[in-house]
């Protein structure tokens, strides 16, 4: 049996949402529930939406329609609902209008709190203002904002009137923002005057203005004053947010939108090609993230979730629509986790009694480098669930997160999926023992498997992660590009979604993600994930972070170079280089020893801490194109790689 790092108490098991649902459908084990879901996927989801108490203005006549084939499956056909209603009106009408729905803390210490009733009023005011500006059902509305209360309000207001939200990462430059808004044909853009980043005010309005030169479809820009700075103003186009909403009604009815009526247009980018706009409906993305939070993260009314993210990433809408949809409250965190001090995140968790904390493994590696004393200064006992997504774990940071932040009592719910999925393919459950870096298996309702190059199931070896049946939340396709959608996910094996991740299932039944398929390295015929190299190296006490990248090798086809960031105060040298090489050999064997270990001062990351390994590789190899850099948070890391030695 693998090394167990956490085991559920009887209280966790007995009180879990999952346990209640298993009793509902007569399943006594996780294996029985997986089998129940696979046997009749439509029946499974029908039972689950009833368990969740999803509100329908008009009930659906058919749970699943695959008449156009699996790639274009339709869910809850004939049903009418609205994500904004499900997140707000439902709870106000249930007598919970005075309960806290949203808490926000700014980088500068500013604090705001909204009840469900207050949040509903603000959402209605903005929804009404958008209608005054001419936004109607089916129009696209961009959101280019940091994580403020108004950002969540925007997401809910757009859906309330049947328009389509197009969230964009608040760290994008003008070209990246323009590409997405132009492709979406956005009619209105919601933005701010500026944003605070590590104590400095950044003019976000200027970025928006530069982008809109290439987006003639945008008729109005609604600007919220976050920093109070003077910004360039375009008459007749730009509208003051506060003045616009002040004169609007505090209540308007939510549109009765069809289940598959588009609500979210979420752009995801790869190493090449233009960004892909994944289309999601009102009973797609919002329902999928509620399901995942209910079953995997065990979210309950009255609890509070903080996920370190941005509204432009999938986990931003995941936080707002999933948590509020389950009647819990959201904690919005502005800024970086280690500014103005290395314990800011832990201070916020303690002060606001956060129960669920989600963060990327890379961010934990960075915070871990500051030592144990910073988190130990704070009472983190309210944390009941720890969560992670975005990339594979290394064992040492995983253990640190579990031991120091979770106190050994809170499980780490490892979670992996994607924007086009509307959430997770693989997950963990707080009713079963956990081992480092692993998943218990598929998120219930995801008929996942691991297959070889011929599409045959494999166990005990690395293969492609696939999904064999449709699910609510599966993207309805790419915006105006059906052919690309089919080519990307459905062209390899008949009627099978190929996700693009390498995965494996071990002898104990635990699942593992080994990185993206295009990241996987083949050394002399041996396929290995970069995370395996990185885990071996970061286990050394001198190392803060590492990235394993493939390089051409005349003999082996590919070899590996490890780019290593050392902890503060550690000196580089040949002896240390030899120790790190030895760590890899000890873990993977001599045949997979790295070709070189190079010391760097930084590695490229996105704002939410995810490592951009493909960018590190392209820079190290001095390739002409680095691919899409729109999400890069720290451009100085490129020069650091240039200076690698």
Each residue's pLDDT tens digit, 369-396: 899 999 999 999 999 999 999 788 889 9
Burial of 633 (0-12, 13-18, 19+ CB in 10 A): middle
Every domain of the chain and the residues it spans:
522-642
- How high is the pLDDT of residue 273? 58
Helix residue ranges per DSSP H, 40-97: 41-52, 83-84, 90-91
Helix residue ranges per DSSP H, 260-379: 285-295, 315-317, 324-325, 344-351, 361-368, 373-376
Please answer whether residues 259 and 76 qualify as being in contact, where contact means their C-beta atoms are separated by less than 8 angstroms.
yes
Query: What SS3 class is residue 374?
Result: helix
Please, what is the Cα angle at 263 between 259 and 269, to 5 degrees? 125
What is the spatial distance between Cα 354 and Cα 86, in angstroms, rounded to a whole number?
Answer: 23
What's the pLDDT band for 606 if we cut at 50, 70, 90? confident
- How high is the pLDDT of residue 610? 76
The number of helix segments (H) and strand segments (E) in the chain equals 23, 32
Helix residue ranges per DSSP H, 509-573: 530-538
30-to-166, 295, 337, 411, 509 alpha-carbon distances in Å: 37, 11, 35, 17, 12
To which residue do tokens 């002040």 refer? Answer: 246
**Residues in CB range of 53: below 8 A, 6 or more apart:** none
Q: How many residues does the chain have?
A: 645
- How high is the pLDDT of residue 362? 82
Please answer whether residues 151 and 143 qualify as being in contact, where contact means their C-beta atoms are separated by less than 8 angstroms.
yes
Residue range 452-463: mean pLDDT, rounded:
94
Q: Residue 495 above 90 pLDDT?
A: yes
What is the spatial distance between Cα 472 and Cα 288, in angstroms, rounded to a whole number?
Answer: 6
Q: Give percent of the chain with pLDDT exceeding 90.
A: 80
What is the spatial distance between Cα 607 and Cα 173, in angstroms, rounded to a whole number?
Answer: 13
| Cα diameter, the chain | 71
In terms of Cα–Cα distance, which of 633, 584, 585 is closest to 608? 633
- How high is the pLDDT of residue 519? 67
Question: How many other C-beta atoms can be found within 10 angstroms of the C-beta atom of residue 275?
Answer: 19
Residue range 177-204: mean pLDDT, rounded:
95
**Residues in CB range of 77: below 8 A, 6 or more apart:** 60, 61, 62, 63, 64, 65, 259, 260
Q: Residue 448 above 90 pLDDT?
A: yes
Torsion of CA 6, 8, 12, 18, to 10 degrees: 100
- How high is the pLDDT of residue 8? 97
What is the spatial distance between Cα 85 and Cα 90, in angstroms, rounded to a whole number?
Answer: 6
Please answer whether residues 551 and 559 qualify as being in contact, where contact means their C-beta atoms are separated by less than 8 angstroms.
yes
Concatenating the DSSP letter of every residue in 224-254 gives E-SS-------TTTEEEHHHHHHTS-S--PP
Q: Give percent of the chain with pLDDT exceeding 70.
A: 96
Q: Residue 1 above 60 pLDDT?
A: no
What is the spatial distance between Cα 220 and Cα 238, in angstroms, rounded to a whole number?
Answer: 6
- How high is the pLDDT of residue 414? 97
What's the pLDDT band for 586 if we cut at 50, 70, 90? confident
- How is domain 522-642 classified at the CATH fold level? GMP Synthetase; Chain A, domain 3 (3.30.300)
Residue range 591-612: mean pLDDT, rounded:
85
Burial of 91 (0-12, 13-18, 19+ CB in 10 A): buried
Per-residue pLDDT reduced to its tens digit, 515-572: 777 666 767 556 677 877 888 899 899 999 999 988 887 766 788 999 999 999 999 9
Please answer whether residues 448 and 465 qualify as being in contact, where contact means their C-beta atoms are separated by less than 8 angstroms.
yes
Per-residue pLDDT reduced to its tens digit, 258-310: 999 999 999 986 544 578 899 999 999 999 999 999 999 999 999 999 999 99
What is the spatial distance between Cα 182 and Cα 191, in angstroms, rounded to a whole number?
Answer: 16
Helix (H) or strand (E) holding 223: strand 220-224
When the pLDDT of each residue in the chain is averaged and rounded to a whole number, the result is 93
Instruction: Supply the DSSP symbol for 611.
Output: B
Q: Which residues lie across from 339 on neighbouring strands? A: none
Q: What is the pTM of this model?
A: 0.86
**Residues in CB range of 613: below 8 A, 6 or more apart:** 515, 519, 530, 547, 548, 549
Instruction: Supply the DSSP symbol for 591.
Output: G
């Amino acid at each position: 049996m693998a090394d167990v790092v956490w085991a559920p108490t009887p209280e966790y098991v007995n009180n879990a949402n999952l346990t209640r649902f298993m009793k509902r459908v007569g399943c006594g084990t996780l294996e029985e529930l997986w089998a129940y879901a696979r046997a009749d996927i439509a029946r499974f989801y029908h039972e689950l939406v009833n368990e969740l108490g999803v509100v329908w203005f008009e009930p659906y006549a058919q749970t699943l329609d695959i008449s156009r084939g699996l790639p274009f499956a339709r869910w809850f056909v004939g049903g009418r609902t609205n994500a904004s209603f499900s997140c707000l009106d439902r709870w106000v009408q249930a007598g919970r209008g005075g309960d806290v729905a949203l808490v926000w803390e700014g980088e500068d210490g500013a604090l705001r709190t909204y009840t469900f009733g207050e949040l509903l009023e603000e959402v209605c005011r903005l929804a009404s203002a958008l209608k005054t500006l001419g936004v109607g059902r089916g129009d696209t509305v961009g959101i280019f904002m940091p994580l403020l209360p108004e950002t969540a309000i925007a997401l809910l207001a757009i859906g309330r009137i049947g328009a389509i939200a197009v969230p964009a990462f608040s760290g994008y430059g003008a070209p990246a923002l323009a590409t997405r808004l132009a492709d979406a044909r956005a009619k209105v853009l919601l933005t701010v005057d500026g944003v605070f980043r590590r104590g400095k005010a950044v003019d976000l309005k200027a970025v928006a203005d530069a982008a809109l030169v290439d987006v003639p479809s945008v008729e109005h820009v609604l600007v919220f004053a976050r920093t109070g700075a003077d910004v360039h103003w375009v008459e007749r186009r730009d509208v003051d947010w506060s003045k616009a909403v002040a004169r609007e009604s505090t209540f308007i009815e939510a549109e009765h939108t069809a289940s598959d009526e588009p609500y979210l247009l979420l752009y995801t980018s790869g190493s090449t090609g233009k960004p892909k706009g994944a289309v999601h409906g009102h009973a797609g993305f919002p329902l999928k993230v509620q399901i995942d939070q209910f079953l995997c993260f065990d979210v309950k009314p009255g609890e509070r979730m903080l996920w370190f993210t941005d509204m432009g990433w999938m986990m931003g809408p995941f936080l707002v629509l999933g948590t509020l949809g389950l009647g819990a409250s959201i904690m919005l965190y502005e800024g970086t986790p280690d500014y103005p001090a290395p314990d800011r995140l832990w201070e916020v968790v303690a002060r606001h009694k956060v129960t669920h904390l989600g963060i990327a493994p890379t961010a934990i590696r960075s915070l871990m480098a500051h030592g144990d004393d910073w988190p130990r200064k704070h009472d983190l006992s309210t944390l009941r669930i720890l969560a992670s997504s975005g990339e594979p774990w290394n064992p040492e940071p995983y253990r640190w997160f579990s031991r120091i932040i979770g106190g050994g009592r809170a499980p780490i719910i490892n979670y992996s999926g994607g924007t086009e999925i509307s959430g997770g393919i693989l997950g963990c459950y707080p009713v079963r023992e956990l081992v480092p870096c692993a998943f218990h298996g598929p998120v219930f309702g995801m008929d996942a498997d691991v297959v070889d190059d011929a599409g045959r199931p494999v166990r005990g070896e690395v293969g492609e992660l696939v999904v064999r049946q449709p699910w609510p939340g599966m993207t309805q396709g790419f915006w105006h590009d059906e052919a690309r959608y089919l080519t990307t996910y459905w062209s390899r094996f008949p009627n099978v979604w190929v996700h693009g991740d390498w995965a494996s299932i071990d002898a104990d039944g635990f699942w593992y993600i080994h990185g993206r398929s295009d990241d996987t390295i083949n050394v002399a015929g041996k396929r290995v994930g970069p995370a395996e190299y990185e885990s071996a190296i970061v286990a050394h006490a001198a190392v803060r972070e590492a990235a394993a990248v493939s390089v051409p090798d005349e003999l082996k086809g590919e070899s590996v170079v490890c780019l290593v960031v050392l902890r503060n105060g550690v000196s580089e040298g040949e002896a240390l280089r030899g120790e790190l090489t030895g760590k890899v050999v000890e873990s993977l064997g001599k045949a997979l020893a790295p070709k070189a270990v190079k010391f760097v001062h930084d590695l490229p990351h996105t704002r939410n801490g995810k490592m951009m390994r493909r960018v590190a590789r392209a820079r190290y190899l001095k390739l002409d194109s680095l691919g899409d850099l729109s999400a890069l948070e720290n451009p100085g890391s490129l020069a650091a790689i240039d200076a690698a030695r």
